[in-house]
Structure 1
Amino acid sequence: MKFSVIIPLYNKEKHIAEAIESVLSQTVPDFEIIIVDNGSSDNSLHIAKTYERPGVKVVTQLERKGVSSARNTGIEASSYDHLCFLDADDYWFEDFLQNISELIEAFPQAGIYTTAIQFKRKDTLYHPGYYGLPQAPAKLIVPDYFESILHGEQVITASSVCIPKHILNETGPFDEQVRDGEDQELWNRIALKYPVAFHRSASAVYRQDADNMITHQVPKRELDHAVKLQKMLDEGHIPDIRKDIIQKIIAANLIGVASMNILAGDKAMARLLLNDPRSKKLPQRRSYWVLLLALPNFLVRILYALRRKLLNKR
């Protein structure tokens, strides 16, 4: 079993070496690394090029086209049948590819293979509980991927995922027109057709350091991946048995964007999003944020912080 590991790179000079080293240290030896530089203006490309050797290649895109374009370029340059992705500011533990190999052997029918992750904030690692998934066995098919993400489980990240190439040949690669939630949009497309296989061993680290996170403005509309789901609903591409959960995912997106606007102090935009009839598919979740609309901003932030603290203690 051989893997192509695709690392999109843009201005990550602090962490690209650690990302590459984490792949080179894998206990599974059969892989290639494809680093796709997306127009870096710092020292990232120079650092990446120091690792060039047989099995490690650096591809440069002179024009910055976005992370989806970089990932797709890596897919086109890949030689092997199993495509793994790693963001340049994240890293793997040495057993990542071994755990993915075990999943592929156990669940050849799956369309996505993924492992648990740890979040890194400054120098501390945090392990999500994945409480919405069965606690055993260690290797499993996610019972309902969309139910899991509806309840906040980050089952798949762009640094803990492996996709067979034949799956992408069927569903299509990353949509380069999607600018927010581009990875989620691809996971959605695949999960509508194929099972998602999950390994409970935390094998990847996702950085949440302030200087590593991309700075996002608070969105003022539903995110692109939810827009794509709505389009699939409207065009009849969602099976009847999945329509209810997909409508709830769309509602969750509207409410989630509204919540960000409430916390940012833009209650007018939040009200507009919460007044969208589609948000009523999740009445209890919606009611919570409608209630917060009536409170002063400082009190909203206090209540939200308390809620997060309680959830983190689960």
Structure 2
Amino acid sequence: MNTSKEPLVSIIMPTYNSSKTVLESINSVLNQTYKNWELLITDDCSSDNTIDLISSVKDERVRYFKLSANGGAGVARNNSIGQATGRYIAFLDSDDLWLPEKLSEQITFMENNAYPFTYTYYQKLKDGQKGAIIKSPASATYKKLLYSNYIGCLTVVYDQSKLGKHFMPKIRKRQDMALWLTLLKLTSTAYCLPKCLALYRTDTGMTQNKLTTAKTQWEFYTKSLELPIYSALIKMTSYTILGILKKLK
């Protein structure tokens, strides 16, 4: 794409004690073939040298901010969203990676089809080894997403000139899913570019508490979305089954 005509993409990155991975994530942005972007990093009160590493990056397209109090990834993302000036909003966490052609191919996909909200396939990365490729469904609607959040945050790009600027809700978990549902109320469908363009790092040092995860999802359905109990039960059952199948890949 011609860089003089490329619309600006605002990339949202939260950090928290990310010293082991943040430079690799930033470099995956610096290596994009698409050049008209701004990387907006908000640090959530890291206690390691994350900020020092970020400040060592000498590129005027990279800007960073630091929260005055720890608020979680959603608050950090919202701070960066508030600073965003681009037509497009994209997301990348400080331990995940993009392939060099990610933005170029996805923005082209959106502009050629007039899609305001898109996502892509992604691949798991565990202990430096590439794993399963997560092939998300071809499209997403509000109703479908209630049953399973199959949209990877690191793959999303949406057009705020069409959908407006939106922030993640003030909840500690499932902020991304809540934002996708908000966007899907404004546009009927999100579309998948069926190509693996990102790497999602999984931390083998952490053992997920399945009971806590289930409780979080249940509270998201019943409190954040205020769904009736019977509706929440149906969606919770589906979400659990699909989640198990996803982890088996």
Name the TM-score class by shorter chain.
0.7 to 0.9
The Cα shift of 1:153 comes to 6.9
Write 1 or 2 for the structure with the bigger share of strand. Answer: 2
Specify whether residues 102 and 162 from structure 1 end up closer, same or farther in structure 2 by C-alpha distance, changes over 3 A only.
same
The correspondence for 2:172, drawn from 176, 179, 187, is: 179
1:161 equivalent in alignment to 2:152: no
SS, match of residue 192 in structure 1: helix
Partner of residue 236 from structure 2, selected from 229, 232, 254: 254
Q: Where in structure 2 are the equivalents of 1:93-112 lying within 5 Å?
A: 93-110=99-116, 112=117
Which residue is equivalent to 1:118? Answer: 123
Secondary structure, counterpart of 2:195 in structure 1: strand
What is the match of residue 144 of structure 2? 147
- Which structure is higher in RCO with an 8 Å CA cutoff and minimum separation 6? 2
Q: Compared with structure 1, are the counterparts of its residues 197 and 118 closer, same or farther at alpha carbon in structure 2 (3 Å cutoff)?
A: same
- Structure 2 distance, partners of 1:230, 1:9, is 27
Distance 1:72 1:30 in 2: 21
* Equivalent position to 1:8, from 11, 14, 17: 14
Q: Which runs of 5+ in 2 are unaligned?
A: 1-6
Are residues 147 and 39 of structure 1, via their aligned partners in 2, closer, same or farther at CA, if it must alter by over 3 Å?
same
> Are the equivalent residues in 2 in contact too, given 1:223–1:253 (CA < 8 A)?
no
CA distance in 2, matches of 1:188, 1:228: 15
SS of the residue 2:168 aligns to: coil
Paired residues of 1:9 and 1:38 also in contact (CA < 8 A): yes
* Aligned partner letter, 1:184: M
* Residues 280-295 of structure 1 mapped to structure 2, 5 A cutoff: none
Q: Paired residues, what number? A: 236
Find the counterpart in structure 2 of residue 210 from structure 1. 204
Question: Alignment partner of 1:127: what SS?
Answer: strand
CA offsets per residue over residues 114-141 of structure 1, 9 Å max, x none? 11111112213211244x54xxxxxxxx
Does the CA-based 8 Å contact 2:122-2:135 persist in structure 1? no
- Contact 2:43-2:64 within 8 A present in 1 as well: yes
1:82 paired to 2:88: yes
Cα deviations by residue, 1:28-87 (Å, 9 ceiling, x for unpaired)? 111111111110011211111111431111111131111111111101112211111100
Alignment CA distance shift 1:118-1:63 (3 Å): same
Q: Distance in 2 between matches of 1:168 and 1:72?
A: 16
Q: 1:221, CA displacement in angstroms?
A: 5.9
> 2-side partners of 1:76 and 1:6: how far apart?
10
Report which stretch shifted further, 46-55 or 222-231.
222-231
Q: Secondary structure at the match of 2:63?
A: strand
Kept in 2: contact 1:107–1:197 (CA 8 A): no
Which amino acid in 1 is paired with 2:222? V
Q: Deviations over 1:244-294 (max 9, x none)?
A: xxx76x33553378x6xxxxxxxxxxxxxxxxxxxxxxxxx7xxxxxxxxx
**Percentage of matched positions with identical amino acids:** 23
Instruction: Write the distance in 2 (CA, Å) between the matches of 1:252 and 1:119.
Output: 28
Change (3 A) 1:192 1:149: same
Contact 2:121 2:135 in 1 (8 A): no
Mapped partners of 1:215, 1:41: distance in 2:
23
TM-score, normalised with respect to structure 1: 0.66
| Shift, 1:101, TM fit | 0.8
Is residue 47 of structure 1 aligned with residue 53 of structure 2? yes
Gaps of 5+ in 1: 134-141, 235-246, 260-284, 286-303
Q: CA RMSD in A?
A: 2.9
Distance 2:219 2:186 in 1: 20
When residues 192 and 31 of structure 1 are mapped into structure 2, their CA distance, relative to the original with a 3 A threshold, is: same
